[in-house]
Amino acid sequence: MLVFEPLIQIYFMNIKLSNRLLKNFRSQQNQEEEDDIQDFYHHPGEIPGKIYIQEDAVKTQISLIDYNQVSLIIKKDLTPQECGEFLDTESVSWVDVQGLGSLEVMEELGRVFELNSLVLEDVVNMAERPKFEDYEDQLVIIARMVMPKTKGSGFHSEQISLILGKYYLLTIQEEPTRDCFEPVRNRIKCNRGVIRKHGADYLAYAILDAIIDGFFPILETYGEFIENLEQEAIVNPNPNTLQKIYKIRRQLLKLRRAIWPQRDMINSLIRDSGDLISDEVRLYLRDCYDHSVQVIDMVETYRELATGLMDVYLSAVNNKMNEIMKFLTVISSIFIPLTFIAGIYGMNFNFEKSPWNMPELSWYWGYPFCLGSMAAIALSLLYTFWRRGWLDQGPTIKNNHNP
């Protein structure tokens, strides 16, 4: 057994390494969460309605799409005052604010659109839970948009704020380089569908629908990744696999926190939005609500699968350990009788002094007979183990995918 002690030590060293890597990964994730909390945390006792501009915030850019059934106006790099000229027209005006790096511009937007200071705080400080609020002549909708990362795995999560008026829709987002609104812009530009036949409430629905539909490509990616990760956990469990399982569980939890309150927000928007949302658009919002429920079901399913992956990983590691111990036991069982024989003949009793000593020591064929007996016993034991199925490694799974 001393020969096989290094194998056992290597295995337990592998387990210790897995625990160490998992601990380091958890520390890294906790540090990232603390950084997020510091970015968005408001200290107690601060003045309500105060706007905070982060140091790394992107410069504010304002674009405008004004349209009706027959005309279309597209403008970029506008000031809040220039946008205010379109608010009283009966055409639909979509004012898109990208970037929150200018305090003066955001305050001017609040004056032009007559935003309550608390509303302006919510849409700028980017720490809000998805919600809906009715301000009589305005509806304030705060949602969370997710976009897949261009490099590596994971996704970006960003707050999107919508202020809906009678003839306008103001959207405020943190990053100008990414959003999921391009299909909506193309439908307006190309006059596809019925979007230019409806008012600003339909535009708000189209944007919310694009936000909810943006979850599906990410979930599809996670579904494939979980499938491949399950195969990896069975075929080749290693410390890297443990990190991947833990990481995907945390990311699915972030997705759940993003989509769950949005379902309640859309439901409140259908029931309590007042006259700014027409009955026809409420029907479309019901479809958007169904999509959010479908996203929640997928997220919960993948979270359960990811949780089950930990059990699969531990079972695979234990099974691997059992295979190693079975191999060591078989080898030990073969060498036990051989060691017994070698021990007896290793005593070297002298045949000349007593007739009860070992006559094989003086026999001409004694040494070949002893080796042959050992080989016969070893082969007999191997045959017995094979007939009993103790040497069977069980079914194997080919790893055809690399997650």
pLDDT in tens, 54-81: 777 788 899 999 999 999 999 998 998 9
Average pLDDT for the chain: 80
Of the pLDDT bands very low, low, confident and very high (cuts 50, 70, 90), residue 292 is very high
pLDDT in tens, 4-13: 454 455 455 5
Alpha carbons within 13 A on the beta-carbon side of 69: 3
Percent of the chain with pLDDT over 90: 29
Domains of the chain: which residue ranges?
42-211
Of the pLDDT bands very low, low, confident and very high (cuts 50, 70, 90), residue 336 is confident
In 3-state terms, the chain is what percent helix, strand and coil (to 5)? 60, 10, 30
pLDDT in tens, 133-179: 988 889 999 999 998 887 777 888 889 999 999 899 999 998 877 88
Domain 42-211, second-level architecture: 2-Layer Sandwich (3.30)
Of the pLDDT bands very low, low, confident and very high (cuts 50, 70, 90), residue 14 is low
Closest C-alpha to 296, from 249, 264, 250, 248: 264
The answer to whether 99 and 174 are in contact (CB under 8 A) is yes
Identify the bridge partners of residue 238 per DSSP, sorted by sequence position: none
pTM: 0.73
